[in-house]
Chain A
Amino acid sequence: MITAGVDVGNKFTKVVVVKGGKVVSKAMTATGFDPAGAANEAYDKAVSEAGIAKGDVQKVFATGAGAIEAKFANDTVTVVSADAKGAYTLFPAARTVIDVGAEEGRAIRLNDQGKIADFAVNEKCAAGAGSFTESMARALEVPLEEMGPLALKSDKTIPMNAQCVVFAESEVVSLVHAKTSKEDISKAVHDAISGRVVSMARRVGVEKELVMIGGVGRNVGFVKCMENGLDGMKATVLDDPEYVSAIGAALLAAE
């Protein structure tokens, strides 16, 4: 059976095509101000890359903040369900899944059968999500992709108010004026953002194995700080972590 999963995220829209349980293609576009257009574009790309026609795809499930914008989808599923399905299928030992995207973070606890035992999602504030790091990178005048590696070079702990991006940005500016190194500031930023996620994960209960998915999974600084916050528990970052929700949606479509 050929199915597709569409994850219309706040920042990027991801699409995967799955055949017989295996990912055969994937594509990503910026969501921007036209989520419906982004979904169509990414879907066209993924189908084309798979070397099939749209008519060959038997079922499409959409997920993500803009799931309903994928008008061509047969149904929608929540990100929590898609995450659980994708993470458990790719890594059956997973019992805790942490998904951090651009605007949202979520923690999911799975039972032995991969069913959701509990979950938590961050509220309105994006302080525990990727856009926070992006905002801080702008304040530091550092490319986003360098933020994580920079943080790994610091062993200092500088407390930061992570409750609000606006206040935190002001704190970064103060630290810059106080001649604090970019490495230390970057570490402080990642400690702060990961602290929010750790707190959310502890709410649902953290059990081994811990799996990290979502675009922020690519940020080595975040992952390290999160592991520190979880008393050194190692997190397995799945390959192409930003696609896991879309994979989960495609797998659910096949059921």
Chain B
Amino acid sequence: MSKGQLYPTEPLKSWGMAKKAREEFYLDYRDCHAKGGIRWAGGAWALDALTYGLGDDVFSITSEPYGASCAFNKDIAMKCMETAEKYGYARDLCAYMRIYWGSVLTKGTYPWGGDYPIPDFIYQDHICCSHAKWYQVIVDHEPQIPMTCIDVAPGPFMPGTDVQIKPHQVKYVADQMLEAIEWLEKTTGRKFDDEKFIEAVKTECINTSTWANICVLNKAVPAPLDEKTMYSLYVLNTLCKANKRITPVLKEVYEETKDRVARGIAAVPNEKARVMSDTQPPWGFLKVFRYLERYGVVSIGSLYTFGLMGIWEVKEDGTWGGRTLPWEKGIEIKTREQAAYVNADWNLSKPEFQHFYHPKYKTRMMTRIAKEWKLDGVMLHYNRGCEGLSLGIAENRLGLLKAGVPVMIFEGNMGDEREFDEVATMARIDAFMETLGLKKDY
């Protein structure tokens, strides 16, 4: 027993599987041309199920997780950002975007070796202020790359609540997807396969609902997972949420996490208090989460880790859980039109989409997490690197305080270490821990 230990702990066995799946994603993207495959780029929220209709040898790179991976390596991140700045792009823009641009513009910065592999086409969505501009700049520098973009902002949608979406709003997105099929066929010269598309739509529903159900298991005390570990797991859906290769990995994580709950295995063996964070962490400083553990504090996740790629609904008992799969509710997916509609409807209910419409939705979801996951406090990251997800965060703070949840804020940047003050942040954590009545175990 280590000092302060209250619960048994053990490493998460499926972590290695997840890590391997992540690495394969980046290598497949880089190497697929050698096997006649196609590679494309777009955001993590791109409606990527569509691209599976082009065949099994089509691989993507998703720009935000790519930016995060680079950010974890501070040298690469700095090289990329300084390159983007030399080209004249402002330092206060999205950090992932600047890193991505810098990676495209700089030789030898692909973290898995070599130069950044230029995509054959760009297929993006647009809800964040940076989304479409992100790739517009890429096309400015690489004008041979064809690009299309889908607007996914028809309105808020929170399944199981009073915030409902109307069919014509879903159709607005689904119709764009159907148009994009024609564009993809013309751009790649390949015939679109409806069966593969339908299979990908179903796979995405399974993968994203499974992730939500994994997060639900973290309601247990002690928490079976901690947020730092969850970053290595949630990322799979940010890379290829409609890919059937990650389904067994997520199922394995789910089963193992369920088993940990049954056996009382803790992620943080001295768990005495529970918090959540908010948006992307400062990726180069994940030691923040290990520092919390010295106080016996586990971060059980965040709206970001739960809702960036988990799809949720409010269940009949009033709790939050993975959204019911469409076919379990009798919804048919037999045609390309049905598949596009289901996929649009599914994606529009993404929790992290909602606060683009109003901060009250995010406050509502965070307050729910604070209650259902039995939290003692919340750490809000005023993330200067992400205008989109930081939008309304000061309103969220007020809303959480009003709901009786203690809140600590810290300023930083998910990708730009120049805007993160490690010493000041640790000092602020110390103060917050003291206000929660906690003392260091070691």
Contacts and interface: CB of A to CB of B under 8 A. Distances in A.
B421 A78 contact: no
Interface string A109-147: 000000110111101100000000000000000000000
A80 B431 CA distance: 6
Contact of A124 (B401, B409, B424, B434): B424
B411 interface: yes
A124 B401 CA distance: 24
B427 A78 contact: yes
A226 interface: no
B348 to A, nearest CB: 34
B432 to A, nearest CB: 8
A237 interface: no
A123 B406 CA distance: 20
Interface residues on B, range: 10 to 19
A105 to B, nearest CB: 13
B434 A78 contact: yes
Most A CB contacts (10 A, CB to CB) among B407, B411, B431 go to B431
Given A80-B435, A118-B401, A119-B435, A124 B421 contact: yes
Contacts of A65: 427
B421 A81 contact: no
A77 interface: yes
A79 interface: yes
Contacts of A121: 424, 427-428, 431
Interface in B387-410: 401, 406-407, 409
B411 A78 contact: no
A120 B398 CA distance: 13
Given A78-B430, A123-B411, A116 B424 contact: no
Interface string A79-102: 111000000000000000000000
A68 to B, nearest CB: 10
Given A118-B401, A123-B411, A81 B434 contact: yes
B295 to A, nearest CB: 12
A123 B424 CA distance: 8
Nearest to B435: A116
Contacts of B430: 78
Nearest to A81: B434
Contacts of B431: 78-81, 119, 121
B312 to A, nearest CB: 30
Nearest to B410: A123
A76 to B, nearest CB: 8
Interface string B219-239: 000000000000000000000
Contacts of A116: 434-435
A124 B420 CA distance: 9
B438 to A, nearest CB: 12
Contacts of A78: 427, 430-431, 434
A206 to B, nearest CB: 15
Nearest to B411: A123
B70 to A, nearest CB: 23
Interface string B89-104: 0000000000000000
B424 to A, nearest CB: 7
Contacts of A80: 431, 434-435
A123 B421 contact: yes
Contacts of A81: 431, 434-435
Nearest to B439: A75
A77 B421 contact: no
Nearest to A119: B431
Contacts of B421: 123-124
Nearest to A116: B435
A8 B194 CA distance: 68
A59 B431 CA distance: 21
A78 B406 CA distance: 18
Contacts of B409: 120
A79 B430 CA distance: 10
A8 to B, nearest CB: 12
B61 to A, nearest CB: 33
A79 B424 CA distance: 12
A120 B409 CA distance: 8
A17 to B, nearest CB: 23
A115 B406 CA distance: 13
Contacts of A118: 401, 406-407
A77 B434 CA distance: 8
Nearest to B420: A124
Most B CB contacts (10 A, CB to CB) among A80, A115, A120 go to A80
A103 to B, nearest CB: 10
10 contacts: A77-B434, A78-B427, A78-B431, A79-B427, A115-B435, A119-B435, A120-B409, A121-B427, A123-B421, A124-B411
- Give the 9 A-B CB pairs with smallest separation, nearest first: A80-B431, A78-B431, A116-B435, A78-B430, A81-B434, A123-B411, A124-B421, A78-B434, A121-B428
Interface of B: 401, 406-407, 409, 411, 421, 424, 427-428, 430-431, 434-435
Given A77-B434, A124-B421, 7 more contacts: A78-B431, A78-B434, A81-B431, A118-B406, A119-B431, A119-B435, A121-B431
